[in-house]
Structure 1
Amino acid sequence: MTMLDAGFRGQDAGGPAPTIIGTSLEPRANVVLRSAEFRRGREESWRELDDLVQRVEKRGIRSVSADELQKMPLLYRSALSSLSVARSIALDRNLLRYLEGLTLRAYLVVYGPRTSLFAGLGQFFTRGFPAAVRKVGWHILISFAALVIGIVAGYLIVASDEEWFNAIVPDDLSDGRGPTVTAEELRRTELFAPWPGFKDAFIVFANYLFRHNSIVAILSFGLGFMAGVPTLLLMVYQGLILGAFIAIHAKRGVFVDFIGWLSIHGVTELGAFVLCGAAGLLVAEKILFPGRYTRLESLAIHGKQAAIIVGGSVAMLFIAGIIEGGFRQLVGVTSWRFAFAGVTAVLWFLYFMSGRKEEQHGLPT
């Protein structure tokens, strides 16, 4: 016995009659008759749709013919109409549950994605993410400019008075690096520290870096809802921290080694921060200047693009965490670190420029 058959058994066996809106005092026999008529006139199309959906669920979309594929949306809309009628006249609950389940399954088959999870991810990273980034060029420049302003300001402030370092850099980020640190300590414990091993490098430290950086990057995007001002301030503050570190290392004669140590992962990490800031500025722009749409409509249209940028940026931060947590200390020569950073920068540039020809020729990305 199917769920559809069970939906009416209680009525046929003398169970409680359903309440029909506006006719609660109508004779019981008339209620049962109405329910039976409702089922008899539509049951065949329900069963046909159920059979098609089951075949697709078990054997895939290729298990149905072209004619059946064209017929499926019509059967789905018919079942949806039946569900609407059934709810309005309060038919048996089992039947309502059956129709709700059937229409939900049919919706996923008719209108659901036609690609697998891995195919969808492949589409996202090969076309969606680079295309979304290319559309926010001015936002990227503004976000990058805010970061550079912070770096310059942080460097000048700490270079003039190193005591400002402790006021700018949080304790959990300074990790003992401050006005009292020596050049030898920086070389031994930071710039050329020995590799800590696979577990500490790739699992413990890389995981910490990824979580911390992801929170900051997503916050940069989320603050875009407040007209973008907090996003820019956060980008400036991130620059202040970096500028403070540059000043400490420069005054101890290890500026070049520090930039090499930073660049090996900084190309990817700072790039992700800038992109998240750009996504926040995109949201701010569409809220402040919605154009011919309402603010809510404009946010719905362009919010997807911003979310794609943030999703891809988080993936970049994962890569940066792996590089910073493990590979950075494996590359112990400053010149090699610069070379690694240069190759990384070229690869990211080529990645984000991929697909431009398809866009220029009007092909979908």
Structure 2
Amino acid sequence: MKAPILKNLFGKAEAAPPPEIEAAALRSDRFRLERQREWQRLEDIVGRMEKGRLRGLSDEDVLALPVLYRTAASSLAVARETSLDASTLEYLDSLVQRAWFQVYGPREGFVAWLRRFLGGGLSRAIRGIWLDICVALAVMVAGTVVGWLLVLQDREWYYSLVPVQFADTRVPGASREVLLESLQVEKDTQGLSAFAAYLFSNNAGVSILAFALGFAFGIPSLMLLLHNMAMLGALLWLYHDAGLTLEFAAWLSVHGTTELFAILLAGAAGMHIGRSMAFPGNRSILAAAAESGRRGAQVMVGVVLMLVFAALLEAFPRQLLGMEGRALIGVTMLLFWLAYFFAFGRARSRDEAVESP
């Protein structure tokens, strides 16, 4: 049977489409008309959100967004199953992707996140583990004192506490001139650079381990801090015995006030996780670990940034400046970190706490 002959708008005769094509077109039109109003509303809401016009959205629109998204996603699935026309599929696919990003996607880009993180997020996370920081600081001070006292009583302890890389000319019995030479200003970045690189890799490894071992209720983190600071105590005794306490403190402070602070924060972050798991309170252990883990992860991002900055201080200022310049940089960095972590962003935190229900 031949298809009926129809005339188009120009008066030319052409064959009518087969009945199955007409039925599919009719079904597609009916499907689109039944749901078109919901799609248009979803597109309007998504469009305003993409343009940043959030204040123009009513409460009803905000509540309807996830419902409209799921409806559009369901319509897309049906359209694919029934092989509707390509234009409807393309439209729905684009609309569902845009709506998904607004419902489930990230609310800010990397630059905005970094600005918020450095603008108060990091300092708030660190203030949130203040108790663990106090405990870790006490352990680090105790480790330094223990290392000093052990070497003071028996010099053989020095070789057990201080790695071979440190014990080149820096050994008990070395003359004041030899020890002073190890702290001298370099004309270039050679000489002490290898020693600085070792310090950075050592402290970076200690920081990562101190955080990772916190899951064992924080005890290994504390032991690691104790052992690492005992090495510093032994070195401090060595230079004090030669009358070079100030020179050594200035040499160490350039990067030490940043690097040792980073180790302190890493150990406190690890211990915070372990303490939350050991004493979860009214929460489950998994919930307590998840909450403390998120806060600890924020702190560790800051620790990584601090270690990178400390490496730059080790590579140049420490080798190329005298005792006064080193001490000035060290004290300045210590004051900066204290102000940034424990004073910066407090007013904003109070405002957010008042605004939150």
Tell whether the structures are fold-level matches, with TM greater than 0.5. Answer: yes
Greater Rg, structure 1 or structure 2?
Answer: 2
Amino acid at match of 2:305: A
Aligned to 2:99: 106
Distance 1:34 1:296 in 2: 51
Once the 2 structures are TM-superposed, how far is the Cα of residue 111 of structure 1 from its aligned partner? 5.3
Distance 1:212 1:154 in 2: 18
For residues 190-240 of structure 1, the C-alpha deviation after alignment (integer angstroms, 9 at most, x for no partner) is: 311404349x96xx9877755543332122112111110101011101111
Task: State whether residues 224 and 230 of structure 1, in contact with CA within 8 Å, keep that contact through their aligned partners in structure 2.
Answer: yes
Matched, 1:340 2:333: no
Once the 2 structures are TM-superposed, how far is the Cα of residue 326 of structure 1 from its aligned partner? 1.1
Residue number among 172, 191, 208 corresponding to 1:218 in the alignment: 208
Distance 1:183 1:206, change over 3 A: closer
Task: State whether residues 195 and 330 of structure 1, in contact with CA within 8 Å, keep that contact through their aligned partners in structure 2.
Answer: yes
Matched, 1:196 2:188: yes
Task: State whether residues 143 and 233 of structure 2, in contact with CA within 8 Å, keep that contact through their aligned partners in structure 1.
Answer: yes
Residue number among 349, 352, 355 corresponding to 2:338 in the alignment: 349
Task: State whether residues 264 and 328 of structure 1, in contact with CA within 8 Å, keep that contact through their aligned partners in structure 2.
Answer: yes
Aligned to 2:144: 151
* Paired positions, count: 330
Stretch of structure 1 that moved more, 34-43 or 152-161: 34-43
Matches within 5 A, 1:56-75: 60-61=51-52, 66=56, 71=61, 74=64
Task: State whether residues 134 and 353 of structure 1, in contact with CA within 8 Å, keep that contact through their aligned partners in structure 2.
Answer: no
Distance 1:264 1:364 in 2: 41
Once the 2 structures are TM-superposed, how far is the Cα of residue 325 of structure 1 from its aligned partner? 1.8
Once the 2 structures are TM-superposed, how far is the Cα of residue 271 of structure 1 from its aligned partner? 1.2
Amino acid at match of 1:297: A
Once the 2 structures are TM-superposed, how far is the Cα of residue 282 of structure 1 from its aligned partner? 1.2
Distance 1:101 1:244, change over 3 A: farther
Matches within 5 A, 1:68-217: 71=61, 74=64, 76-83=66-73, 91=81, 102-110=95-103, 112-172=105-165, 174=167, 177-179=170-172, 181-188=174-181, 190-197=182-189, 210=200, 212-217=202-207
Stretch of structure 1 that moved more, 177-186 or 292-301: 177-186
SS at match of 2:316: helix
Aligned to 1:7: none
Amino acid at match of 1:347: F
Task: State whether residues 206 and 322 of structure 1, in contact with CA within 8 Å, keep that contact through their aligned partners in structure 2.
Answer: no
Matched, 1:304 2:294: yes
- Same amino acid, percent of matched pairs: 34
Once the 2 structures are TM-superposed, how far is the Cα of residue 50 of structure 1 from its aligned partner? 6.1
Distance 1:229 1:92 in 2: 61
For residues 11-55 of structure 1, the C-alpha deviation after alignment (integer angstroms, 9 at most, x for no partner) is: x89xxxxxxxxxxxxxxx99x999987666446655775687589
Once the 2 structures are TM-superposed, how far is the Cα of residue 317 of structure 1 from its aligned partner? 1.8
Task: State whether residues 79 and 99 of structure 1, in contact with CA within 8 Å, keep that contact through their aligned partners in structure 2.
Answer: no
Distance 1:208 1:69 in 2: 58
Amino acid at match of 1:125: L
Task: State whether residues 137 and 264 of structure 2, in contact with CA within 8 Å, keep that contact through their aligned partners in structure 1.
Answer: yes
Distance 1:158 1:228 in 2: 27
Matches within 5 A, 1:242-321: 242-321=232-311
Matches within 5 A, 1:14-93: 41-42=34-35, 45-46=38-39, 49=42, 60-61=51-52, 66=56, 71=61, 74=64, 76-83=66-73, 91=81
Task: State whether residues 73 and 110 of structure 1, in contact with CA within 8 Å, keep that contact through their aligned partners in structure 2.
Answer: no
For residues 37-91 of structure 1, the C-alpha deviation after alignment (integer angstroms, 9 at most, x for no partner) is: 766644665577568758976xx435x9935997477355333245357769983
SS at match of 1:268: helix
Amino acid at match of 1:61: G
Task: State whether residues 157 and 164 of structure 1, in contact with CA within 8 Å, keep that contact through their aligned partners in structure 2.
Answer: yes
Matched, 1:234 2:251: no
SS at match of 1:80: helix
Distance 1:175 1:85, change over 3 A: farther
Distance 1:150 1:100, change over 3 A: farther
SS at match of 2:81: coil
TM-score calculated relative to the size of structure 1: 0.73
Distance 1:148 1:97, change over 3 A: farther
TM-score calculated relative to the size of structure 2: 0.75
Once the 2 structures are TM-superposed, how far is the Cα of residue 320 of structure 1 from its aligned partner? 1.7
For residues 139-195 of structure 1, the C-alpha deviation after alignment (integer angstroms, 9 at most, x for no partner) is: 11110111112111112222333333332233345565334754333322x311404
Distance 1:290 1:69, change over 3 A: closer
